[in-house]
Chain A
Amino acid sequence: MRKKLVSLLLTSVVCLNVLAGCGSKPAPEEKKTPEASSEIPEENTADTQENEGTEINTIDTNMTAELNIWSSGEELQRFVEGFNKIYPNITVNITVIPNKEFLSKLTPVLSGGQDVPDIFTGESDYVKYLVNAGVWDDLTQEPYHATEKLNDIWDYVKNVGTDDSGAVRALSWQTTPGSVIYRRDLAEKVLGVSEPEEVSAYLSDYNKMLETAAAFKENDITMFGSWEDVMLMALSDRQQAWVVDGKLVIDAKMETFLDIVKEIYEKKYDLNVSQWDPEWIAGVESDNVFCYVLPTWGYSFMVKANAVNTMGKWGLCEGPNPYINGGTWLGIYKDSPNKEAAWAFMEYVTLNSEALQEYASIYGEYVGCKSADDALAQDQGEENLAGQNLYEFYNQVMAKNPNVTITEYDGQINTAYKNAAKAYATGKITKEEAITQFKEDVATAYPDLTIE
């Protein structure tokens, strides 16, 4: 009997551990120094210095503070050296947490209110969730008063960082308009032209784009890396976001896109892999992938980063519609004890035109500050793009005001859409079933949304 009791007890302890494992909050993985909240010294007006381009700054550049920043990428680290030249006494500690784990690390810390970083980032998939939750401070209010400085920022950056009440809570160092990143030599071979405007003419609408894909297929060249790339462009072809007033909206364009996916799959116009799969990346160096439909980040982090033998053979042109997709924003935690220092850093990273120009000239990223992009558009073009100036190109895309349709639900809804599209493309289900499956998946993820 006692043995039974013991085994019963042991079993329940083990079982309870199951629950505990699920309920316990994951701790951030790095050794954090809790004494981050050093006091900001009194403002020293004698030390006032002009450093922000047109703005006269009354912030004390000698202020001492230790800033803790969580970022889902490496980029912010690149600004620290330049920042410390102006603010030598602000220590910036950046913890990089991979995007996939970012929210699962951040939300427990935010809900506990302990050891929350002064600044943290949010990627486009969930940035709206953070913006609408009000965990970042409104930058138009005390102590930031950023309203006027925001004029030099692209609307996309500002709008995504603005919540429903009009409070600007997040900004970014980058803007992410898209392009068709294509191989000039392959275009010359198949289409007989290689300049961006000429190639664009072959991609002026989705049907024409598929006809062009057929021409490449005849030459044993795969048009796209993955249809998932094309979806990034198609998302900006919509007039409405996935969710409007708590209701799921399936734009007619997204229904049509299902058929485009099917055609790409059936006629083998892509490599039949997902984005970031090794084969998708390897396509950059092969001679049988014509283009990648990707925004700025896709060009700098993927194509340019991997082009060795194909260096100088690339070009950027426009597809059927201008588009913009992705990006990483950052904001200041509403209860941060280091708001002034945090703002100094954020201002440097997102609004300081000179700093952004310097950053862009080293890393080749298209930035969120208009005056910086305009200045860079005057420079020489890129070697990898055979002399094309990417800033000039992206400025043109931005001038066309691509539709912006980011919602806080996008990450999961896009995944559900991709799964449904793939099931339809591979012939497992009909188009109607795909739409039903998509709606069911969205309902499972977000039961509060109205779905008709």
Chain B
Amino acid sequence: MKKKSINDRSGYGYLFILPFFIAFIFLGLYPAVFTFSLSVQKWDGLAPEKFIKLANFERLLSDKVFYLSIRNTLRIWLISFIPQILTALLLAAVFTTYRVKGMGIFRAIFYLPNLLTAASVGLLFHLLFNGNKSVANNILQALHVSGAPFEFFNDPVFTSNLTSYIQWWMWFGYTMILVMSGITTIDKNLFDAARIDGADRGQTFRKITLPLIRPTIVYITITSIIGGMQLFDVPATMSDGTGEPDKAILTISMYLYNQGFKNHNYGYAAAISVGLFAIICVMSFASLKAMKKGGNKDD
């Protein structure tokens, strides 16, 4: 009681976190609330807003293109995320168990694609594959591949998978570094004990490393879901914003952008945004729950 006034510093904590919350309220919370209010209005950006109750959401629930964009986004994310986490685990395991010469260089090279702007990567791949005289077609023709030149961007499956590939290529290095840092926080004694008990490298990885980096994996999964569901730059630059061919790479964010800034349906775009928010919330909580459940079993 007597010393409290001098040594009690708990109040300072709030002071230190205050700047974040101030910024968050104005730049995060206010726009978010504004989006919700916009989603029940009809607004073309210039004329006065009109309150239309839940009409935007009614339209959203019966909008085929919205569902298509959800399927596209999920497919592109899943096809890039699974290889991404597997590659990251494998490379991290190799880098942390073996002494690889020039590991730092490899790590930097793997991480490098992540430093490029997504928009320029999208444009770059568009240049590589677009047209009969594209780089890819030139190479294939020089190798006398039958059927070349191919119309790559006329094929929805190819275009969608190419987008996934780009996402994998850009993000596996980043994921690998997170996994590696997760592994290095594990107490070395555990590995020593395992070795003394006769566990081989595979067993150690499965029984010790994997369970102990679970929090890292949870983090990676959730941030990847959030990022993946918001995917925009790469498919937008690759298809000039249309999501073609056959709307195969029209993601939710692209659809949202097109409805807002191209069709001037800002209210409806806000409704899509709320829909996207709901999807991300559900997926994030579901994955959190699924992994927590698995975690408790081991405890």
Contacts and interface: CB of A to CB of B under 8 A. Distances in A.
Interface string B18-61: 00000010011101101110100000111100000000000100
Given A20-B31, A278-B127, A15 B281 contact: yes
Interface string A357-396: 0000000000000000000000000000000000000000
A170 B227 CA distance: 42
A19 B273 contact: yes
A389 B62 CA distance: 56
A261 to B, nearest CB: 14
A130 B46 CA distance: 9
Nearest to A17: B28
B95 interface: no
B134 to A, nearest CB: 8
A423 B131 CA distance: 16
Contact of B230 (A18, A133, A412, A415): A18
A24 interface: yes
Nearest to B260: A104
A18 B276 contact: yes
Q: Classify chain B's interface size.
A: 35 or more
A110 B45 contact: yes
A401 interface: no
A340 B199 CA distance: 85
The main secondary structure of chain A at its interface with chain B is: helix
B261 A104 contact: yes
A273 B130 contact: yes
A103 interface: yes
Interface stretch (A175-183, A248-256, A347-355, A442-450): A442-450
B214 interface: no
A16 B32 contact: yes
Contacts of A103: 261-262
Given A11-B284, A103-B261, A279 B242 contact: no
Nearest to A445: B263
Contacts of B31: 19-20, 23-25
A121 B154 CA distance: 35
Contacts of A13: 24, 28
Contacts of A14: 222-223, 226, 284
A423 B246 CA distance: 8
A135 interface: yes
A272 B154 CA distance: 11
Q: Which of B134, B261, B277, B284 has the most CB of A within 10 A?
A: B261
A111 B45 contact: yes
Given A16-B32, A412-B263, A279 B133 contact: yes
Contacts of A20: 27-29, 31-32, 35
Contacts of B200: none
A380 B112 CA distance: 56
B273 A23 contact: yes
A103 B45 CA distance: 10
Contacts of A104: 260-261
A422 B284 CA distance: 38
A102 to B, nearest CB: 10
A170 to B, nearest CB: 15
B160 to A, nearest CB: 15
A15 B222 CA distance: 10
B50 to A, nearest CB: 12
Interface in A108-153: 108, 110-111, 129-130, 133, 135
B264 interface: yes
B263 A7 contact: no
A11 B46 contact: no
Nearest to B270: A23
Given A15-B284, A20-B28, A133-B47, A426 B154 contact: yes
A24 B38 CA distance: 12
A112 to B, nearest CB: 11
Contact of B273 (A22, A444, A446, A447): A22
Given A104-B261, A110-B45, A23 B154 contact: no
A416 to B, nearest CB: 9
B132 interface: yes
Contacts of A192: none
Contact of B35 (A23, A110, A130, A412): A23
Contacts of B127: 278
Contact of B280 (A15, A23, A422): A15
A394 B229 CA distance: 50
A22 B256 contact: yes
Contact of B262 (A15, A130, A278, A411): A411
B106 interface: no
A11 B218 CA distance: 12
Interface in A18-65: 18-25
Given A22-B256, A110-B45, A445-B262, A415 B242 contact: yes
Contacts of A428: 246
Contacts of B32: 16, 19-20, 23
Contact of B151 (A17, A130, A135, A426): A426
A316 B42 CA distance: 47
A419 interface: yes
A368 B273 CA distance: 43
B262 A7 contact: no
Contacts of B269: 22
A135 B28 contact: no
Interface of A: 7, 11-25, 100, 103-104, 107-108, 110-111, 129-130, 133, 135, 271-274, 277-279, 411-412, 415, 419, 422-423, 426, 428, 440, 444-447
14 contacts: A11-B285, A15-B281, A16-B32, A19-B36, A19-B274, A20-B28, A20-B31, A22-B269, A23-B38, A23-B273, A111-B45, A278-B127, A422-B154, A422-B244
Interface pairs A-B: 4 shortest CB-CB:
A23-B35, A23-B31, A107-B45, A22-B273
Interface of B: 24, 27-29, 31-32, 34-36, 38, 44-47, 59, 63-65, 127, 130-134, 151, 154, 222-223, 226, 229-230, 240-242, 244-246, 253, 256, 258-265, 268-270, 273-274, 276-277, 280-281, 284-285, 288
Given A19-B276, A22-B273, 7 more contacts: A11-B284, A14-B226, A23-B31, A107-B261, A111-B46, A278-B131, A446-B263
